[in-house]
């Protein structure tokens, strides 16, 4: 993974010093409330319903064991002993004291982490495919490019005060696991049809929130050397022409819609042509320097049973005792479920990708205790070359585990309540903090998430229903991405009462789609049962190998509506 | 298009990027409001109609409006303006290093700003990123 040089370190250290000084001047009454708000947001610090919340950047979802250990230390020392992974691969602390935050930032800087621009109207942390570097379907590793974007965007002098927040995601794989269509800029590494060179397809203007929009391709092919110049040009057009008067019209998606993607693209090209050969051009030497930060780990050779055998083929058949013997004393059903759902294919024979579920009955989706952070850091050292990934689905990943050691790892994870076998299933839901923590929340998304978890935990039906993404937001701002869930759940306030609306058919993959409303809002205690009904309708109606999403796409909302509301009731 | 503003200059402190320069606050020859003028052709016309001024002031209506930053980039880089470029308006300590790096060389600090804090803000970061290169403020 990327390691800081002395200059990178000096920038992060100076940022800590700057924020310490800003807190001092704020406490002395020298910075007004509204200005301090903007300054602290750009250091990841929100003021929530009960307390401050600090959002720490996990650049493109990559963490070292030392960093994870330090996050555990911070949770223990400055918070209530836990932390929360977000839908943009970041981590949040929910209870820091303002006067401790400079010290927390210094603790982070000591392990090459920061909270720079994790909030505010600026370029946020760049996210990426959480299987970068280990996926079999990868054309090129996106992480070196993400790190370049991180550096370009960090304290960028021109784009620190944009009309609204700005999010960039990058994928280098055939299957989009980074949801690029729902980002302000989505970047996809592609191969040129003639030259076979690798470059970028550039998407712009996607986003969820109050006005969900699937992004549009603004450039089919971009020379990789021009990446920073081109996104700089996009930001320049947005910075001067984006709407600054109305907050809900300020995202770039509204500008792209107003101008039309062709006119927008022309304006970007005009800017791009002026700066293309300038200091943002990436030289071959620079690219090599960044790529050198992401070498493959020292994989053991010859672990695959047959040379060239693909693990995903074996995984499709279900890993069995031959590859990973049943650990002593383990529940064979639970272990097989874990192998089936939490263990994925790796590009190197003999290795697997293990997803650590942060979804279980007794926690909010994405929550992790200080003890678990520390334990996982040790497990990463023992089993996965000291590396951990965070996913935008609020789970963690050990990316490089020998298949022969899966049983051993399973038992260790189980001991720390980190082996819930539910990845990709209904209870692997994502949810925003909602009314319980957030100032904006209209309804308690976490309570409904807990209902769902409890209803399905360990149930055979969970496994019969199979792959479903459930995404839940506690208000229309859509931090829980409900429009992009196969089942989307939106909390609203109906005349002082909490209520939940359900959407069906959203997706964030290669064929992105926005969900459609199922029917009238439900009371909070009706949601889990309604979701089970949706599963029942699918089990009854599905054909052959259809997934839940396939069936929804084939049949539309109607049969699901009828299942939940009864046939006579109109939406 | 851009009527000169009647700023009460005495109430402000002018800080020059070259901290050794004791600049005196005089009215700039041309004042630009990014709300009204931000495109390269419009900026170019404005400069020509003002007979190529040696000093341009760019208005920052509120610190959280980043348009002045792009205007400065366009003046310096696209139009090759080499005269004085002054940030006026809602300019405080915590915005200076951003403004300095897009090409402003003087800042009319808002009332009550502590000049020592402002100087410290301009020297705090040893280097900044420019794309994937790094640069110090003084060589920018």
Chain B residue nearest residue A232, CA to CA: B131
What residues in B contact A278, CB-CB < 8 Å?
77
As a whole number of angstroms, the distance between CA A129 and CA A297 comes to 18
As a whole number of angstroms, the distance between CA B130 and CA A356 comes to 37
Read off the pLDDT of each residue in A232-255 and give the average, rounded to a whole number. Answer: 96
As a whole number of angstroms, the distance between CA A471 and CA A139 comes to 29
* Contact in structure between A512 and A182 (CB atoms under 8 Å): yes
As a whole number of angstroms, the distance between CA B118 and CA B95 comes to 9
What residues in B contact A155, CB-CB < 8 Å?
97-98, 125, 128-129
pLDDT at A319 over 60: no
SS3 at position A524: helix
Rg of chain B taking only CA atoms, in angstroms? 14
pLDDT at A323 over 70: no
How far lies A75's CA from each of A72, A81, A114, A556, in Å? 5, 5, 15, 45
**Token pair of A299 as six digits:** 């994989």
Which of A151, A177, A161, A282 is closest to A227 using CA atoms? A282
> A193 to chain B, minimum CA–CA distance in Å?
29
Determine the pLDDT at residue A564.
97
SS3 at position A258: helix
> B67 to chain A, minimum CA–CA distance in Å?
6
> A266 to chain B, minimum CA–CA distance in Å?
14
Tens of pLDDT, residues A398-414: 999 999 999 999 999 99
Out of B66, B124, B129, the one facing A161 most closely (by C-beta) is B66
- Compute CA A201 distance to the chain's CA centroid, rounded to the nearest angstrom: 20
Read off the pLDDT of each residue in A102-120 and give the average, rounded to a whole number. Answer: 98
Percent of chain A with pLDDT over 70: 96
Contact B64 A157 (CB under 8 A): no
Contact B64 A121 (CB under 8 A): yes
Question: Pairing mode, if any, of strands B13-16 and B106-109?
Answer: antiparallel
Q: Which of A161, A226, A252 to substitute to test the interface with B, most B CBs within 10 Å? A: A161
Q: Between B10 and A78, whose confidence is greater?
A: A78
Read off the pLDDT of each residue in A353-357 and give the average, rounded to a whole number. Answer: 98
Residue A511, φ and ψ in degrees, nearest 5: -120, 75
Determine the pLDDT at residue B6.
32
Which of B92, B71, B61, B64 is closest to A247 using CA atoms? B64
Which of A79, A85, A90 is closest to A418 using CA atoms? A85
Contact A162 B70 (CB under 8 A): no
How far lies A386's CA from each of A62, A360, A369, A397, A405, in Å? 11, 25, 19, 11, 15
Out of A30, A239, A275, the one facing B70 most closely (by C-beta) is A239
As a whole number of angstroms, the distance between CA B46 and CA A551 comes to 61
What residues in B contact A158, CB-CB < 8 Å?
66, 69-70, 73, 98, 102
**Token pair of A332 as six digits:** 């064979």
Q: Which pTM value belongs to this model?
A: 0.94
Contacts of A194 (CB under 8 A, 6+ apart): none
Q: Which of A126-130, A320-324, A418-422, B120-124 has the lowest mean pLDDT?
A: A320-324
Tens of pLDDT, residues A439-476: 888 999 999 999 999 999 889 999 999 999 999 999 99
Q: Which of A10-14, A139-143, A302-306, A521-525 has the lowest mean pLDDT?
A: A302-306
Stretch 39-98 of chain B: residues touching chain A, C-beta under 8 Å:
39, 63-67, 69-71, 73, 77-78, 92-94, 97-98
In DSSP notation, A122-168 reads SB---EE-TTTTT-TTBSS-SHHHHHHHHHHHTT-SSSSS-SS-B-E
Chain B residue nearest residue A161, CA to CA: B66
Contacts of A47 (CB under 8 A, 6+ apart): A37, A53, A439
Percent of chain A with pLDDT over 90: 90
How far apart, in Å, do the first and last CA atoms of chain B sit?
31
Contact B132 A21 (CB under 8 A): no
As a whole number of angstroms, the distance between CA A531 and CA A427 comes to 11
As a whole number of angstroms, the distance between CA A268 and CA A262 comes to 10
> A283 to chain B, minimum CA–CA distance in Å?
10
As a whole number of angstroms, the distance between CA A458 and CA A433 comes to 24
Q: Which residues pair with A401 in a beta bridge?
A: A352
Residue A269, φ and ψ in degrees, nearest 5: -60, -40
Q: What is the pLDDT of chain A when averaged over all its residues?
A: 94
Contacts of B129 (CB under 8 A, 6+ apart): A11, A151, A152, A154, A155, A156
Angle between helix A527-541 and A558-565 (nearest 10): 130
Contact A280 B130 (CB under 8 A): yes
As a whole number of angstroms, the distance between CA A211 and CA B121 comes to 39
Contact A151 B124 (CB under 8 A): no
Query: Which segments in chain B show pLDDT lower than 50?
Result: 1-11, 139-140
Read off the pLDDT of each residue in A132-160 and give the average, rounded to a whole number. Answer: 97
Burial of A252 (0-12, 13-18, 19+ CB in 10 A): buried
Determine the pLDDT at residue B18.
66
As a whole number of angstroms, the distance between CA B137 and CA B122 comes to 8
Determine the pLDDT at residue A306.
44
In DSSP notation, A89-100 reads S-EEES---GGG
Determine the pLDDT at residue A326.
78
DSSP secondary structure letter of residue A484: G
What residues in A contact B97, CB-CB < 8 Å?
155, 157
Determine the pLDDT at residue B14.
76
As a whole number of angstroms, the distance between CA A344 and CA A323 comes to 13
Is the CA virtual torsion A336, A337, A338, A341 positive or negative? positive
- Helices (H), ranges, chain B: 40-49, 67-73, 96-101, 115-123
Determine the pLDDT at residue A301.
84
Angle between helix A227-241 and A143-153 (nearest 10): 40
Determine the pLDDT at residue A321.
44
**Token pair of A467 as six digits:** 């792959």
Inter-chain contacts counted by CB atoms under 8 A, chains A and B: 107
Chain A residue nearest residue B98, CA to CA: A157
> B131 to chain A, minimum CA–CA distance in Å?
4
Determine the pLDDT at residue A433.
86
């Amino acid at each position: 993974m990327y390691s800081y040089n002395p200059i990178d370190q000096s920038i992060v250290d100076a940022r800590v010093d700057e924020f310490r000084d800003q807190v001092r001047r704020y406490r002395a009454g020298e910075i007004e409330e509204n200005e301090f708000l903007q300054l602290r947001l750009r250091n990841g610090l929100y003021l929530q319903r009960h307390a401050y919340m600090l959002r720490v950047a996990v650049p493109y979802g990559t963490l070292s064991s030392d960093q994870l250990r330090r996050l555990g230390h911070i949770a223990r020392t400055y918070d209530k002993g836990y932390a929360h992974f977000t839908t943009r691969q970041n981590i949040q602390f929910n209870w820091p004291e303002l006067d401790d935050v400079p010290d927390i930032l210094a603790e982070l800087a000591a392990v090459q982490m920061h909270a720079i621009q994790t909030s505010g109207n600026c370029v946020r942390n760049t996210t990426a495919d959480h299987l970068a570097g280990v996926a079999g379907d990868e054309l090129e590793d996106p992480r070196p490019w993400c790190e370049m974007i991180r550096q370009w965007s960090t304290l960028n002098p021109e784009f620190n005060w944009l009309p609204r927040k700005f999010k960039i995601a990058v994928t280098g794989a055939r299957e989009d696991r980074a949801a690029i269509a729902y980002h302000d800029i989505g970047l996809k590494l592609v191969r040129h049809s003639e030259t076979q060179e690798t470059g970028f397809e550039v998407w712009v203007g996607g986003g969820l929130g109050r006005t969900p929009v699937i992004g549009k391709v603004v450039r089919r092919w971009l020379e990789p050397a021009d990446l920073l110049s081109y996104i700089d040009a996009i930001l320049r057009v947005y910075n001067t022409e984006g709407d600054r008067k109305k907050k809900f019209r300020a995202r770039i998606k509204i500008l792209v819609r107003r101008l039309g993607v062709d006119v927008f693209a022309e304006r970007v090209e005009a800017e791009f042509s002026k700066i293309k050969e300038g200091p943002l051009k990436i030289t071959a030497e620079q690219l090599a320097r960044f790529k050198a930060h992401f070498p493959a780990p020292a994989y053991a050779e010859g672990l695959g049973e047959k040379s060239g055998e693909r693990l995903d083929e074996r995984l499709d058949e279900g890993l069995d005792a031959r590859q990973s013997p049943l650990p002593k004393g383990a529940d064979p059903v639970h272990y097989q479920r874990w192998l089936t759902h939490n263990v994925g294919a790796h590009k190197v024979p003999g290795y697997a990708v293990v997803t650590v579920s942060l979804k279980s009955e007794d926690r909010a989706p994405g929550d992790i205790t200080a003890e678990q952070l520390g334990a996982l850091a040790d497990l990463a050292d023992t089993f996965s070359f000291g590396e951990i990934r965070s996913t935008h689905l609020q789970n963690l990943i050990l990316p490089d585990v020998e298949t022969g050691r899966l049983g051993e790892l399973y038992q260790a994870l189980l001991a720390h309540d980190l082996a819930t076998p539910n990845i990709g299933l209904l209870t692997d839901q994502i949810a925003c903090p909602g009314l319980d923590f957030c100032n904006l929340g209209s309804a308690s998304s976490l309570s409904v998430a807990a209902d769902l978890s409890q209803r399905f935990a360990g149930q055979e039906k969970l496994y019969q229903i199979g792959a479903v993404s459930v995404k839940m937001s506690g208000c229309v701002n859509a931090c829980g991405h409900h429009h992009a869930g196969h089942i989307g759940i939106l909390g609203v306030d109906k005349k002082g009462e909490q209520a939940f609306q359900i959407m069906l058919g959203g997706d964030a993959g290669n064929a992105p789609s926005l969900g459609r409303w199922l029917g009238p809002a439900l009371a909070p205690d009706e949601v889990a049962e309604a979701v089970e009904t949706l599963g029942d309708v699918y089990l009854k109606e599905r054909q052959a190998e259809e997934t839940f999403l396939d069936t929804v796409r084939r049949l539309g909302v109607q049969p699901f509506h009828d299942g939940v509301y009864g046939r006579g009731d109109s939406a | 298009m851009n009527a000169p503003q009647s700023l009460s200059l005495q109430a402000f402190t002018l800080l020059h990027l070259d901290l050794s320069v004791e600049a005196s606050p005089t009215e700039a020859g041309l004042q630009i409001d990014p709300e009204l003028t931000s495109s390269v052709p419009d900026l170019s016309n404005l400069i020509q109609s003002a007979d190529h001024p040696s000093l341009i002031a760019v208005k920052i209506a509120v610190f959280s409006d980043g348009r002045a930053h792009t205007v400065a980039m366009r003046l310096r880089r696209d139009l090759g303006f080499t005269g004085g470029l002054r940030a006026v308006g809602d300019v405080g300590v915590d915005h200076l290093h951003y403004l300095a790096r897009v090409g402003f060389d003087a800042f009319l600090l808002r009332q009550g700003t502590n000049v020592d804090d402002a100087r410290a803000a301009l020297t705090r970061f040893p280097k900044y990123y420019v794309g994937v290169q790094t640069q110090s403020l003084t060589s920018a």
